[in-house]
Structure formats: C-alpha cells, structure tokens
Amino acid sequence: MAAQNAAPSGSLGNTDAVIDELASTPDFGIVYIADGAGDGTVLTERPSEAVKKIVMLQDAAIPVLIRHLDDMRPTSAKYKGGAYWDDPIAVPVGYVCLDILSQIVRDNKVLFVQGRRDCDFDGVGACIQAPYYFDPFNYTKSGGSLVPSRF
C-alpha cells in the first residue's frame, strides 16, 4: 500500500496529501456554471498551488485523481445552476479531481465522446462519456460533509 501512495522519484512527496490540499484551498477562483459553456476549470490561467502540484505529478497524477473521484469533502469551488443558481453549492473534492483529470487526459478516446466539435460550448460534462461523468450538484450537505443525493 505504501508504494501506491509514494510519489515518483524527484516529485512532491505523498501524492494523496496533495489531494488533501484541494479540500483546504481557500479560493480556487472558479465557479462551475451550467450556462452552456464547458469552459470552467480549476486549471485557469492562475491555478492554485494545490492544482499546480497535482499537474506537476504528470502521469502519476492520473491514478491518484481516479482514487479520489468519490471524495466528498467540500471545497471552496462552487457550482451555480438549476436549483443552485441563486445559492451556489460547494463542489466536492471528487468533482475537482474529475475536472483536473479531464483536462490532463484531454484527447483520451475512452473518456471523451469522439467527433464532436462543440464540447467547449455545451456546458459542464459535455463530451465526457456518460459512465465517467457525474454532475457537481448530485450532492447534498449533511452536517459538514457532502453526500450523494438520491436519484
């Protein structure tokens, strides 16, 4: 198990600790908006230090991000849309991991629908294959945690 959490030689230490930083980042500077433009990402022109550290892991980041897709700790990133238009909700670490993952494996044919040219204009989750996507609003707050909503 220790090898699974070990960072590659010359990288930034325990890779899962880098994911912990996503939960404690005070401001990602991002609000995911269901506005028909799929351009919201934590990999903005000024990403947080936590996001930079994950990206610097290069290929080693992929299994770490996948391991944390079900991480429901709330982050400072928000989602605005539908019932949450006037009162944006916190986005869980797992959704931020999905965002980063979808950006660093950009042209992966397993993850993305191929042949569509309008992905950047179709809203959050556009062009990600259905089995690999979940919406940031499929959670409700319970105490200090986010839990999956009932569907």
Kindly tell me if the per-residue pLDDT of 6 is higher than 90. no
Statement: the pTM of the whole predicted model exceeds 0.85: no
Pick from 42-46, 90-94, 124-128 the range whose average pLDDT is largest.
90-94
pLDDT in tens, 34-73: 765 555 778 877 889 999 999 999 889 999 998 898 888 8
Per 3-state DSSP, the chain is made up of helix, strand and coil in percentages (nearest 5) of 35, 15, 50
User: What is the structure's pLDDT at 37?
Assistant: 55
Residue 101 has pLDDT above 70, yes or no: yes
Q: Is the pLDDT at 14 greater than 80, yes or no? A: no
Token pair 């080693």 in the structure block, residue: 60
Contact between 93 and 19 under an 8 Å Cβ cutoff? The reply is: yes
Distance separating alpha carbons of residues 8 and 3, to the nearest angstrom: 10
**Percent over 70 (pLDDT), the chain:** 58
In whole angstroms, give the CA distance from residue 8 to residue 43: 22
Higher per-residue confidence, 79 vs 140: 79
Compute the distance between CA of residue 16 and CA of residue 21 in angstroms, rounded to an integer: 9
